[in-house]
Structure 1
Amino acid sequence: MEMGQHMASLFILPVEWTSTMRVLQDKCEPTAYEDLEALFLNDMGAPITQLFDDFDPVPIGVASLAQVHVGHHKASGKRVAVKLQHPHLAEFCDIDIEMVDATLGWIKYWFPEFEFTWLGEEMRANLPKEMDFVHEANNAARTTIEFANQRTSLYIPKVVVASKRVLIMEYIQGGRVDDLEFLANSDIDRNKVAIELSRIFSQMVFVNGWFHADPHPGNLLIRPAGKDSKSPYNFEIVLLDHGLYFDMDSTLRVNYAKLWLSLIAPASPSVVADRRKYAALVGNIGPDLYPVFEAAITGRVALEGSWEETDDRTFKRASSMIDMVPQTDEEKDAIRNAVMNQDGVLLSVFDLLRRIPRRVLMVLKLNDLTRSLDYALMTTHSGVKLDAIPVQFVT
């Protein structure tokens, strides 16, 4: 499940693969309430009825590791969200990881060019952390500190109680960040929402060196800002599920920033050389894979100087990220067709995924998720037609 969710977010894999696995991001079966009662009693030392005045047995959300219920917490007097890990998850975790390793090993043996063993390594390293809700609570506390004393729309729900398998936190009522009807009814400008999402996650990567690696729409809520809010806008963006974070050391952050500065600068021999230089420093990428790496970073076909000149003039290549026009469906199809049909391109994608340092791969995942959010918000810079939504939703 976790491996499929990760692959579903990778822009550079074919759409036939990612669309098939995308359902794993929000289509999970809930655990029976009776089993959750037993887990709660075991972990908290008291039954649910003793700690809550009321507790809704129907979950408001179900993910691969846990599900969330709403209740009224007696001790704090607050309406809270209660995240409960699926009871038998730990029992089968090691077995699942071994099965994944074995499966990927066989794939590598029979099809050496299709190398996915790095996915198993990621799962082995990160799954135990995501299964510890105390670790998640600590991540949330650190992120709150990172954004303290500044004007930001980011809001982190307060944790009430945390144990390894039970997390009780402040309940936040709002809409999905990509719910256009909710945004319109709340008089929230979707362009400003997109700008704030970009600013929040850019600060995490470029300034804090500590970033949330799974900001899919199910982990982001939006609500109107209250009178005590620090938000510069009339809304707050609520970030949920803090189980998966990664850090970036100063050297990597500086080189990654310089890579983006070179992508923003107009193409010239020195700028193109810098792009390749910093791609090598950031992603361990040589000239042979640089065009694929650039496409993964930018989500676009190519900039000037990225590919060898060919007779294919289907798309006019931009000089920099600044002068790119909104991406068309034709360009998206060209990227996918190149991956699926051109000799060697798909193998280059696999080679790229194998070579890139894991931290950088997580940054690519973050890029893809935020880029898809920008598209879903139908911003004026995303290239999405406003007539794709009902007229009454448009503000």
Structure 2
Amino acid sequence: MMFRAYRRFVVVAYQFLPLLLAYARDRKRFVFFGGRRQVSSEVRRARARSLLSSLLTLGPTFIKLGQLLSTRPDVLPSEYIDEFERLQDDVPPARWDAAKAVVEADLGPVDEVFETFDDEAISGASLGQVYVASVDGEKVAVKVRRPGVEPLVEADLRVVRWSLPILMRFVGQARSFSLETIADEFERTIREEMDYRREREMLVEIRENFADNERIRVPAAIPELSSQRVLTMEYVEGTKISDVEDLDGLGIDRTELAETLQRSYLQMIVQDGVFHADPHPGNLAVRDDGTIVFYDFGMSGRVDPFIQEKIIEFYMAIAAQDTDAILDALIEMGTLSPEADRDVMANIMELAIADARGEDIEQYRVQQIIEQVEDTIYDFPLRLPPNLALVLRVATVVEGVCVTLDSNFDFISVATGYLREEGLIEQSARDFVADRADEVRQFGESLVRVPPKLESTLDDLDRGNVTLKVEFEPDERTFDVLAKRLVLAALLTAALISASVLYAFATTTTAAVALALATLFGVSLWRSFRRRRQGIDAQPQFTRQRLREREK
């Protein structure tokens, strides 16, 4: 195992080293010294494509790592996120004889357990592959973990751990912390995804949550024909949800289909607390009667009640175009630092909402808003809670599928309509009315107070009794620093000129003495700029979060 890990480490280093050196050059122009250099979006996108190619070359573990990174805008720039979102877990299946050995080791002889078994896989993924069989006259889908994937994953997890200290030297302190948390999250996630017992539990729970919904179909699991490496479930056919021409041929209302899909994910995230987390078109199908079928629950997650509440507040804030409420929700969810400049962030939110409106002012594109937020999160940068990062990813993918079905799909209208029908925004509505009533009361009080004060002030102006006094209190320390820098600059200039003259007309020794003095003055001047305590530091703005902390 260790030898395999060492060998994989060399292969991984060979793939990633050129990009790491390029990133180091960006931070320090000449790697060991010099300033930063600006990198254009085109260069970042080209590097992202190169990194994507490396992930595909390295195989299953790193494909999964890329999929996880595509949900973490706090670690990667938007160009990398865009490229990694294209990672589809679609690879050629392993040979049948190797897969058959896995099935028979866990369930028994294939010919005895199943009536029929088609040895041609209908789909292949990085960690598993799916076959069609039959039991008691009914077709079933049999998902088998890829043979030999366990030792490869274990070796790659070791490589990831060994690589962390090296990566830390190439990135800033904030992202170093994020990378370490991602490594922990990745190890947990990939182990969970290889355990088909967990996938079966999530499938059963989500199926029960939609038991009364005739528009949603989740295949039933067959526990007696399932194990840690094999998952058998009912086989449910359907048309791929992105095949709009086939859907039109079936006479299916695509707008209604998009609304059903969106409402199902809202139910999973803000009500049930457990959700299918890989909603790309390959995992969504539509039956002839318009029922949506969900496949592959290997990637799934849970949402705690606090985050559910904040997600509801976030949706309502976007619908109301209330940038302060949007920022408050992001801060309380942990996606935005309370120290962030609220004015800058509010401007970004306003631009994102305006850009998302389209021709109809009531139309929004949540995917565009989230992308704007992700860009800002990367710039700060921050660490996203793992499950919340997954929720953001799900929201963007689902919205993209809905827009494919209906280019005029109104995400916010559907979301607010659903939340209102389920009684999840009644309290928010009462709060809104209370806030507006308080504003009206304050406005009324101001109307009563202002006229007398205004009349008194105008009388004083008319009589010439008003004077304006402006005082400027200089910071003596700041002026002392500026004076010191001017003196040092003058001495440095004089010493350099003297060294040049002495070198030309006197001895080398005297010129060296003048040059040494010039060096001393130059170092002193450089240090005066390096001392942070002598500069003017910006302080974080007062935030609602701090106000709440004071009130506690």
Choose 1 or 2 for highest CA Rg: 2
CA distance in structure 2 between the partners assigned to 1:9 and 1:177 by the alignment: 23
Summarize the alignment of residues 14-29 of structure 1 with structure 2, pairs less than 5 Å apart: 16-18=79-81, 20-22=83-85, 24-29=87-92
Offset at 1:276?
A: 2.0
Change over 3 Å in CA distance of 1:2–1:200 after alignment to 2: same
Match of 2:210 in 1: 147
CA distance in structure 2 between the partners assigned to 1:197 and 1:294 by the alignment: 31
Q: Read off the aligned partner of 1:348 and give its amino acid letter.
A: D
Q: Read off the aligned partner of 1:191 and give its amino acid letter.
A: T
Q: Deviations over 1:19-55 (max 9, x none)?
A: 5434531431311111011111111122x22223332
Q: Does 1:262 align with 2:317?
A: yes
The one of 118, 122, 125 equivalent to 1:60 is 122
Moved more, 110-119 or 177-186: 110-119
Please identify which structure carries the higher helix content. Answer: 2
SS at structure 1 position matched to 2:287: strand
Match of 1:159 in 2: 221
CA distance in structure 1 between the partners assigned to 2:238 and 2:166 by the alignment: 45
Unaligned 5+ runs, structure 1: 226-234, 296-300, 308-314, 340-344, 384-395
Offset at 1:302?
A: 4.2
Q: Does 1:188 align with 2:252?
A: yes
Match of 2:268 in 1: 204
Q: Read off the aligned partner of 2:379 and give its amino acid letter.
A: S
Q: Read off the aligned partner of 1:370 and give its amino acid letter.
A: V
Kept in 1: contact 2:356–2:364 (CA 8 A): no
Match of 2:140 in 1: 80
Match of 1:323 in 2: 361
CA distance in structure 2 between the partners assigned to 1:90 and 1:318 by the alignment: 44
CA distance in structure 1 between the partners assigned to 2:364 and 2:314 by the alignment: 21
Q: Deviations over 1:166-214 (max 9, x none)?
A: 1111111111111112211111122112111110000111111111222
Offset at 1:286?
A: 2.4
Change over 3 Å in CA distance of 1:217–1:264 after alignment to 2: same
CA distance in structure 1 between the partners assigned to 2:308 and 2:293 by the alignment: 25
Change over 3 Å in CA distance of 1:91–1:49 after alignment to 2: same
**Residues matched between the structures, number:** 340
Summarize the alignment of residues 1-395 of structure 1 with structure 2, pairs less than 5 Å apart: 1-8=63-70, 16-18=79-81, 20-22=83-85, 24-46=87-109, 48-73=110-135, 76-112=136-172, 115=176, 116-148=179-211, 150-160=212-222, 161-225=225-289, 235-267=290-322, 272-286=323-337, 302-304=348-350, 316=354, 323=361, 325=363, 347-348=378-379, 351-352=381-382, 354=383, 356-381=384-409
CA distance in structure 2 between the partners assigned to 1:362 and 1:41 by the alignment: 35
Kept in 1: contact 2:314–2:330 (CA 8 A): yes
Change over 3 Å in CA distance of 1:316–1:222 after alignment to 2: closer
CA distance in structure 2 between the partners assigned to 1:100 and 1:182 by the alignment: 43
CA distance in structure 2 between the partners assigned to 1:58 and 1:290 by the alignment: 57
Kept in 2: contact 1:266–1:319 (CA 8 A): no
Change over 3 Å in CA distance of 1:8–1:110 after alignment to 2: closer
Q: Read off the aligned partner of 1:134 and give its amino acid letter.
A: R
Kept in 2: contact 1:40–1:166 (CA 8 A): yes
Kept in 2: contact 1:57–1:69 (CA 8 A): yes
CA distance in structure 1 between the partners assigned to 2:216 and 2:206 by the alignment: 10
CA distance in structure 1 between the partners assigned to 2:78 and 2:405 by the alignment: 20
Question: With structure 1 as the length reference, what TM-score do the two structures score?
Answer: 0.75
Please identify which structure carries the higher strand content. Answer: 1
Kept in 1: contact 2:164–2:180 (CA 8 A): yes
Aligned-pair identity in percent equals: 26
CA distance in structure 1 between the partners assigned to 2:158 and 2:105 by the alignment: 28
SS at structure 1 position matched to 2:291: strand
Kept in 2: contact 1:105–1:117 (CA 8 A): no
Change over 3 Å in CA distance of 1:197–1:276 after alignment to 2: same
Offset at 1:145?
A: 1.6
Match of 1:389 in 2: none
Kept in 2: contact 1:62–1:68 (CA 8 A): yes
Kept in 2: contact 1:190–1:379 (CA 8 A): no
Offset at 1:84?
A: 0.6
Q: Deviations over 1:276-333 (max 9, x none)?
A: 2221111252256588x989xxxxx9443x79xxxxxxx956799x935566xxx89x
RMSD: 3.4
